[in-house]
Amino acid sequence: MANRVCLGNRNGVSGLFVSRPGYDVLTTDDANLMFDSRNRGIWVHSRGSIVFPAGVKTRTIPIVGLSFQPIVEFCNSYISDYWGGQIVYSTYMEAWSINVTSSQLTMTTTLSFTSPVTIYYTIYGIPF
Amino acid sequence: MANRTILGKNNLNKYGLYVSKPGINVDQASLPEHYSFNSDWSSGAVIHFSGTIAEGQTLYFPLLPYMPLIMSWGIKADGSQAGRYRLSWGYEDRYYVPGLSEYESEYYSISYEGPLLENGYGHVTFPSFNGPSYAGSIHPYAKFVVLRTPAS
């Protein structure tokens, strides 16, 4: 069975390293590491939901504890009827606008809802 | 406070590195959603390369031995974020042709041609817009990340 976890010295570099299943953490290429303490990874800062009451086209929520502009993914039940619950994009890009800073997220839509719509969002910590 | 990290044998008699989410005792974790990291997963989300790319621009990055998962988000001219371009798997008007390493949509395409290059670098290209005029003017930039995660 392959060595999978190395906490300490790996090829002269100290850190925490975890290889993908089937690869020996001590000998495999860096490309096969599923965790590498030298590199950044995608992490979830927060997630939640925003309700757009009927007729409301813009909502803003605060973001706490970030020093950079994050990336936001979102989906909703309205879209899920059409897109199978997938993230809003493609045709709906032009119908939704996200203005996100390090301290707040504002979502705006050009769509007109006749009943409340809940948007589910995930804020990813990806410093570009 | 909950125990959150196991390096060794876990409560399911498996060996590895296990980190539970805040508030969950890793000694009692059993479901995928209980973990923030689990070495039993098939892959992680290590960022290999990331950046912001403009329409018509190509960026180069060190080659990976497999087709990586690439995620990209449209960015408007004022810097605000649009939706995500979903890459590395086919969906609706986007398609992935195995072996050609190319993803396209009706409006956008971002290609990865690492295996085709010989100089040790892969590249991401955000070609000039080829769809209706409104989208190109709305999303002239894209942020992207290349993950050390095989796309398939």
B150 or B5: which leads in pLDDT: B5
Please write the tens of the pLDDT for every residue from B44-77.
889 988 888 887 787 888 877 777 777 777 777 7
Q: How much of chain A, in percent, has pLDDT values that exceed 90?
A: 37
pLDDT at B13 over 70: yes
What is the average pLDDT value for chain B, to the nearest integer? 70
Min Cα–Cα distance to chain A from B16, Å = 7
Using a CB-CB cut-off of 8 Å, the residues of chain A touching B76 are 97
CB contact under 8 A, A128 and B92: no
Please give the ipTM for the structure prediction. 0.74
Residues A94, B16: C-beta atoms closer than 8 Å: no
Structure tokens at B131: 């769809």
Question: Which of B7, B47, B93 has its CB closest to that of A40?
Answer: B47
Q: CA B126 to CA B43: how far, in whole Å?
A: 26
**Nearest residue on chain B to A127, judged by CA atoms?**
B50
Residues A104-121: tens digit of each pLDDT: 998 888 878 888 888 888
- Residue B127 DSSP SS3: coil
> What is the number of alpha carbons within 13 Å of residue B98 lying toward its C-beta?
3
Chain A interface with B: residues with Cβ < 8 Å: 4-5, 7, 16, 18, 20-21, 29-36, 39-42, 69, 71-73, 86-90, 92-94, 96-100, 126, 128
**Cβ-based contacts of B138 with chain A (< 8 Å):** 93-94
Pairwise CA distance, residues A37 & B106, whole Å: 39
The string of pLDDT tens digits covering residues A55-91 is 999 999 999 998 888 888 776 654 443 333 334 443 4
Considering CB atoms only, which of A39, A71, A89 is closest to B46? A39
Mean pLDDT of B123-147: 62
User: pTM for this structure?
Assistant: 0.75
Per-residue pLDDT of B91-119, as tens digits, reads 332 333 333 333 333 344 455 555 544 45
Select the more confidently predicted residue: B87 or A69.
A69
**pLDDT value for A59:** 95
Q: A21 and B38 in contact (C-beta within 8 Å)?
A: no
Q: What are the residues facing B39 on neighbouring strands?
A: none
Least confident range of A9-18, A96-105, A115-124, B71-80: B71-80
